[in-house]
Amino acid sequence: MKDMGEGYTTPDGRRIGPVLMELRNITLRFGGVVAIKDISFDIREGEIRAIIGPNGAGKSSMLNVISGFYVPTEGEVWFRGEKRGPMKPYQVARLGIARTFQNIALFDGMSVLDNIMTGRLTLMHAGLFSQALWWGKAAAEEDEHREKVEKIIDFLEIQNIRKTPVGRLPYGLKKRVELARALAAEPKILLLDEPMAGMNVEEKEDMCRFILDVNDEFGTTTVLIEHDMGVVMDLSDRVVVMDYGRKIGDGPPEEVRNNQDVIDAYLGVAHA
């Protein structure tokens, strides 16, 4: 693929910037299982990057490497021009990488608003002790957090359910609340693990629109795993295709769609 240097403008007028994260020769082993085998690719600022592949291909493992949750067995991760070393959980949390999960991970008994507020925890400066001493300052900070959260609530059109306990919501709305919580962290990279899984057609269309709108409005760099090929083709700027832990394709959707290795992997053709 041709070098895109400092970035480029997409046919629909969105600006894609320089490389934000680079994964170099990543291998990840779990005992004898090789989940990722010598994979390299990059993620550019502002782009929607999909990772696709059959079951067990290593997609979730790759998402966990990107988030910093897994340290690769071999290879290097470069983020914003710096090589990333092993990190403590709090350092991972402060990297500016937020995610949603394959199985929704929200607090069912808490309201939509409070769930979304938890997304800002790593951005909150006033701890309990300082709150006791500087309650005025802490209150001002809380107002600021609420304002940001309210903006996201408006943007994702969930004003009417902001006080509702999450446990009472239908599936599609829960997924939208999960997206809202991830956005509340103002992430540098947003990771979405199968954001449309289990949704009906209408819910999928809504989610697609929100992911695109979020990217447009906030310029959020987004990496997503998705099984629905139609969704991937509609949403992504570039696609990495994995199979048996290897990378078998990487490029714009129309390019990978015509890649014979990718077609074979999806049709289940045996490997030599």
Ligand X SMILES: Nc1ncnc2c1ncn2[C@@H]1O[C@H](COP(=O)(O)OP(=O)(O)OP(=O)(O)O)[C@@H](O)[C@H]1O
Binding site for ligand X (CB under 6 A): 30, 33, 35, 53, 55-61
User: What does the alpha-carbon distance between residue 5 and residue 19 come to, in Å, rounded to a whole number?
Assistant: 8
Nearest of 188, 191, 228, 190 to residue 208 by alpha carbon: 228
> Nearest distance from residue 82's CB to ligand X, in Å?
26
**Which residues, including other chains, have CB under 8 Å from residue 229's CB and lie 6 or more apart?**
52, 266
In the complex, least distance from residue 199 CB atom to ligand X, rounded to whole angstroms: 16
Nearest distance from residue 59's CB to ligand X, in Å? 4
Minimum CB–partner distance for residue 253 and ligand X (Å)? 19
Residue (61 or 115) nearer to ligand X, CB: 61
User: Is the Cβ of residue 46 or residue 53 nearer to ligand X in the bound state?
Assistant: 53
- Residue among 61 and 215 whose Cβ is closer to ligand X: 61
Closest separation in Å from C-beta 226 to ligand X: 10
Identify which of residues 1 and 267 has a Cβ nearer to ligand X in the complex. 267
Around Cβ 237, how many Cβ atoms within 10 Å?
Answer: 19
Compare residues 33 and 140 and give the one whose CB is closer to ligand X: 33
Structure tokens at 100: 């949603």
**What is the spatial distance between Cα 88 and Cα 176, in angstroms, rounded to a whole number?**
29
Closest CA to 256 of 77, 49, 75: 49
Shortest Å distance, C-beta 248 to ligand X: 13
CB of 198 to ligand X, least distance (A): 13
Q: Which is nearer to ligand X, 20 or 242 (CB)?
A: 242
The helix (H) or strand (E) run that includes residue 229 is helix 229-235
If the CB atoms of residues 53 and 195 are measured against ligand X, the closer one turns out to be: 53
Taking alpha carbons only, the member of 128, 126, 160, 165 closest to residue 143 is 126
The answer for 128, left when phi > 0, alpha when psi is -120 to 50, beta otherwise, is alpha
- Concatenating the DSSP letter of every residue in 63-101 gives HHHHHTSS--SEEEEEETTEE-----HHHHHTTSEEEE-
| C-alpha–C-alpha distance, residues 237 and 47, integer Å | 6
